Amino acid sequence: MWYAIYALDNAGSLAARTTARPAHLARLNQLRDAGRLLLAGPFPAIDADDPGPAGFSGSLIVAEFPDLAAAQAWAEADPYRAANVYREVSVRPFRKVLP
């Protein structure tokens, strides 16, 4: 089943996000390579593709996991959690309808 992982960043976490990004992307690439990633990306803190020093306010990942517990465990092991980028993470079942 698909699960939506919705994360909100801590204020002032851009430097930590930048440092932890390679490890974060490596995990996402593993999901992609396994055919289990529907989408992933950050929320710019301002209305711009490149928010510059304003940074990001969070992230959204939609990926396939065997069950909710596995999705939650994967989300908790994210390098952004370890780097204190995320202040809050929620994981919810997601049903893809379109396209």
Half-sphere exposure of 52 (CA within 13 A, CB side): 2
pLDDT digits (tens, 9 = 90+) for 8-40: 999 999 999 999 999 999 999 999 999 999 999
Share of the chain above pLDDT 70, in %: 100
pTM above 0.85, yes or no: yes
Task: Give the span between the Cα atoms of 10 and 18, in whole angstroms.
Answer: 13
- Residue 82: the pLDDT is 97
Confidence of residue 67 (pLDDT cuts 50, 70, 90): very high
Mean pLDDT of 72-77: 98
Query: Which of 94, 97, 93, 90 has the alpha carbon at shortest distance from 5?
Result: 90
